[in-house]
Structure 1
Amino acid sequence: MNSAELIKDLKNRKFKPVYLLHGEESFYIDQISDYIEEKVLSDAEKGFNQTIFYGKDSDLMSILNAAKRYPMMSDYQVVLVKEAQDLKWGKDSDDDKKSADPLLSYFENPLPSTILVFCYRNGKFDKRKKTYKAIEKKGLVFESASIHENKVPGWIEGFVRDKGYSIQIQASALMAEYLGNDLSKVANELEKLMLNVKAGQEINVNDIQNKIGIS
Structure 2
Amino acid sequence: MDMKAAIKEIKRGQVSPLYLCYGSEKYQIQEFIQLIQDQIVDPENRDFAVAHYDLADTQIETVVEEAETLPFLVERKLVLVRDSSLFSAAKESGKIEHKVDRLLAYLDNPAEHSVVVFTVNGEKLDERKKTVKAMKAKGQVLSFMPLGGNELIQWVIKQASSRNCTMDETAAGALLASAGVQMAALSAEVNKLCLYAGAGGTITTEAINQLVARTTEQNVFGMVEDIANLKLERALSTFYELLKQREEPIKIAALIARQFRIMLQVKELGGQSYSQQQIASQLGLHPYAVKIAGEQARKFEVSRLRRSLSELAELDFRMKSGRIDKVLGLEMFLLGLGA
Task: Give the TM-score band, short-chain normalised.
Answer: 0.7 to 0.9
Return the offset for 1:38.
3.6
* TM-score (structure 2 length as normaliser): 0.55
Q: Which letter maps to 1:31?
A: E
Kept in 2: contact 1:49–1:76 (CA 8 A): yes
Kept in 2: contact 1:29–1:121 (CA 8 A): no
Bigger strand share = 1
Matching residue of 2:104: 104
Matching residue of 2:116: 116
Return the offset for 1:3.
4.0
Q: Which letter maps to 2:64?
A: L
Matches within 5 A, 1:50-199: 50-81=50-81, 84-86=82-84, 88-89=85-86, 99-199=99-199
Alignment RMSD: 2.9
Q: Counterparts of 1:186 and 1:193 in 2: how far apart (Å)?
A: 10
Matching residue of 2:236: none
Gaps of 5+ in 1: none
Gaps of 5+ in 2: 90-96, 220-339
Q: Counterparts of 2:32 and 2:54 in 1: how far apart (Å)?
A: 16
Kept in 1: contact 2:156–2:172 (CA 8 A): yes
Matching residue of 2:11: 11
Q: Counterparts of 1:179 and 1:91 in 2: how far apart (Å)?
A: 31
Kept in 2: contact 1:60–1:89 (CA 8 A): no
SS in 2 for 1:147: coil
Kept in 1: contact 2:45–2:74 (CA 8 A): yes
SS in 1 for 2:69: coil
Larger CA deviation: 123-132 vs 60-69: 123-132
Alpha-carbon displacement from aligned partner over 1:122-164 (angstroms, at most 9, x marks no partner): 5333233211111111111111121223432222122212322
**Kindly tell me: are residues 119 and 188 of structure 1, through their superposed partners in 2, closer, same or farther at Cα, counting changes over 3 Å?**
farther
Kept in 2: contact 1:165–1:203 (CA 8 A): yes
Return the offset for 1:17.
1.2
| Larger RCO, structures 1/2 (Cα 8 Å, 6+ apart) | 1
Alpha-carbon displacement from aligned partner over 1:72-106 (angstroms, at most 9, x marks no partner): 3332121112xx244x42899xxxx9732111111
Return the offset for 1:111.
1.1
SS in 1 for 2:51: strand
Q: Which letter maps to 2:207?
A: D
SS in 2 for 1:124: coil
Larger CA deviation: 14-23 vs 164-173: 164-173
Larger CA deviation: 39-48 vs 61-70: 39-48
Matching residue of 2:207: 207
What percent identity do the matched residue pairs reach? 24
Runs of 4+ aligned residues of structure 1 deviating over 6 Å after TM superposition are none
SS in 2 for 1:196: helix
Q: Counterparts of 2:2 and 2:42 in 1: how far apart (Å)?
A: 25
**Kindly tell me: are residues 190 and 43 of structure 1, through their superposed partners in 2, closer, same or farther at Cα, counting changes over 3 Å?**
closer
Q: Counterparts of 1:90 and 1:141 in 2: how far apart (Å)?
A: 11
**Kindly tell me: are residues 122 and 176 of structure 1, through their superposed partners in 2, closer, same or farther at Cα, counting changes over 3 Å?**
farther
Q: Which letter maps to 1:72?
A: F
Alpha-carbon displacement from aligned partner over 1:18-58 (angstroms, at most 9, x marks no partner): 11111122222111111223441124543443212245443
**Kindly tell me: are residues 35 and 25 of structure 1, through their superposed partners in 2, closer, same or farther at Cα, counting changes over 3 Å?**
same
**Kindly tell me: are residues 158 and 2 of structure 1, through their superposed partners in 2, closer, same or farther at Cα, counting changes over 3 Å?**
farther
Kept in 1: contact 2:21–2:118 (CA 8 A): yes
Q: Which letter maps to 2:114?
A: T
Kept in 2: contact 1:26–1:122 (CA 8 A): no
**Kindly tell me: are residues 47 and 101 of structure 1, through their superposed partners in 2, closer, same or farther at Cα, counting changes over 3 Å?**
same
Q: Counterparts of 1:40 and 1:154 in 2: how far apart (Å)?
A: 29
Q: Which letter maps to 2:118?
A: F
The alignment of Structure 1 onto Structure 2 pairs a total of residues equal to: 210
Q: Counterparts of 2:87 and 2:136 in 1: how far apart (Å)?
A: 18
Q: Which letter maps to 1:20?
A: L
SS in 2 for 1:117: strand
Matching residue of 1:32: 32
Kept in 2: contact 1:24–1:121 (CA 8 A): yes
